[in-house]
Amino acid sequence: MDQTSIAYRRGAALPSSNPFQRLASLLAGREPALSPIAMTIGEPKHAMPSFLGEVLAENLADFSRYPAITGTPEFRQAIAGWLDKRYNLDGMIDPERGVLPLNGSREGLSFGAIAARDQLAKPMDHPVVILPNPFYQTYAAAAHVADAAAVFLDATPNGRFLPDLDSLNEDLLDRCVAFYIASPTNPEGSVANLKYWQRLIKLARKHRFYIFADECYSEIYRKTPPPGVLEAAKAMGEGFANIIVLNSLSKRSNLAGLRCGFAAGDPDFLSNWSRFRGLAAPQVPMPHQAIAVRAYGDETHVEENRRLYNEKFEAAERILGPILGPVTPEAGFFLWLNVSKWGDGVKVTEALWAEKGVKVLPGSYLALDQADGRNPGRNYIRVGLVAPYDETVIALERLADWLGGAA
């Protein structure tokens, strides 16, 4: 990729439509041969925490009040406490200046790049936002609303599906204001180690850009808790400058509809951001924050959630492993399957729907074509293991039957 001649065109980074709209168009009018099973969207189907209704009832009266944009003291303390315990931060997170509530992490991811652009004030009309490819589509929206040039770094098996930091030149990094990265990655389920995080942190501080670390899948792992960017920074002993970590209750606690997340890290960035958010952003309702306080103080439901996912990954390994080889990622709840032996991801998606009633997502729909036509998701399909165990097993058996029969 020639990074020295990046051409800016507003909207160039935005996909023509979201992946699920494209999938609906692809499969429109086609009736599957078997009863349909959807394995596309990453919407958790496990039970919500049992205490949800109780906490909501106790705090109903607070729906009548405007919340502070900075959140309740209890919310900020709960997030700081959870991060401290999860990543062994020794009290380094300041609950007053180092935590902000978000309407789900998506809201913060969408508008964080604007704050990065404005706070850094680099002397150029269109700074750079760096994104992984494939990517969560909100990252592209962030580059768009910040009026920035988006640079996509292909995530490939050779680099463990993490952006290749060696591919970045000095000029590009100097123009960068925001670097978006997920760990565990979506869709591949790979994890950045501490060495990778620390290298990225050093680049961010040298070239003056912010890291937006999307850690929404941090609690959906197989055996070993994924290290986080704050943990890496703490080991460096230089504070959390240039680092913003985003997380939410959507995956951890099966509360995707609650729209309650947080940003934490760089206290100067977050303090300045909160002033802008006070003008433009919607507050998080206080009853939602109260649920978050309880949820981040309870690990029992998270452990059960993880057990249920790992049970399904064991089934996937048993059913698909003999055909595809190892399929279990380090973390997350997706399978990222290379189906190039049977065709590209779009063709395989069409066939699985028509012949087996299994709806998956083509990998190319989660990535952007590069200038040379290359798309790192072309040979893949994404399969979500969010449905109940029995339904998931049926879908996996149908998938294995098709792969085996079409070989």
**Looking at the structure, do residues 269 and 307 belong to the same domain, yes or no?**
no
DSSP state of 381: E
Give how many domains the chain has, as a whole number: 2
120 shares its domain with 231: yes
Output the pLDDT for position 6.
62
Task: Tell me: do 341 and 244 sit in the same domain.
Answer: no
Residue 14: predicted pLDDT: 79
Is 49 among the domain residues? no
- Gyration radius of the chain's alpha carbons: 21
> Are 184 and 283 contained in the same domain?
yes
DSSP letters spanning 238-249: STTTTEEEEEEH
Same domain, yes or no: 196 and 330: no
Q: Among 298, 323, 343, give the residue marking a domain's end.
A: 298
Inside any domain, residue 48: no
Give SS3 for 210. Answer: strand
Those residues with Cβ within 8 angstroms of residue 266's Cβ, 6 or more apart along the chain or in another chain: 98, 210, 240, 241, 242, 243, 244
Residue 2 within any structural domain of the chain? no
Q: Is residue 208 part of a domain?
A: yes
Domain finish residue from 277, 298, 319: 298
Per-residue pLDDT reduced to its tens digit, 352-407: 999 999 999 999 999 999 888 899 999 999 999 999 999 999 999 999 999 998 75
Same domain membership, residue 170 and residue 94:
yes
- What local confidence, expressed as pLDDT, does residue 200 receive? 98
197 and 145 share one domain? yes
229-246 per-position pLDDT tens digit: 999 999 999 999 999 999
Residue 366 belongs to domain spanning: 10-42+301-406
Handedness of CA 299, 303, 304, 308 (dihedral sign): positive
Place of tokens 């900075």: 70
Taking 50 as the pLDDT cut, the residues of the chain under it are: 1-5
What CATH number does residue 291 fall under?
3.40.640.10
Note the Cα 241 to chain centre separation in Å.
22
Coil vs helix vs strand at 185: coil
Residue 137's pLDDT is: 92
Whether pTM > 0.85 for this model: the answer is yes
**Is residue 281 in some structural domain?**
yes
Single-letter amino acid code for the residue at 168: L
| Token pair belonging to 270 | 């977050």
Does residue 81 contact residue 296 with C-beta atoms inside 8 Å? Answer: yes
Q: 107 and 232, same structural domain?
A: yes
Task: State the pLDDT at residue 370.
Answer: 87
Same domain? For 214 and 352 the reply is no
Q: Is 165 exposed, middle or buried (0-12, 13-18, 19+ CB in 10 A)?
A: middle
Both 136 and 25 in one domain: the answer is no
Same domain, 290 and 310: no
Closest by Cα among 99, 134, 394 to 270? 99
CATH of the domain at 393: 3.90.1150.10
Are both 203 and 267 inside the same structural domain?
yes
Q: Last residue of a domain, which of 268, 298, 328?
A: 298
Q: Tell me the per-residue pLDDT of 199-223, one tens digit each, with 9 for 90 and over.
A: 999 999 999 999 999 999 999 999 9
Q: Which residues of 80-118 are buried (b: 16+ CB within 10 A; e: fewer)?
A: bbbbbebbebeebbebebbbbbbbbbbbbbbbbbbbbbe
78 is a domain residue: yes
| Contacts of residue 31, Cβ cutoff 8 Å, sequence gap at least 6 | none
Q: What is the DSSP string of 310-366?
A: HHHHHHHHHHHHHHHS----SBSSEEEEE-TTT--HHHHHHHHHHHH-EE-EEGGGG
Decide if 68 is inside a domain: yes
Residue 405's pLDDT is what?
82
**Within a domain: 3:** no
Residue 361 CA to residue 369 CA, distance in Å, equals 16
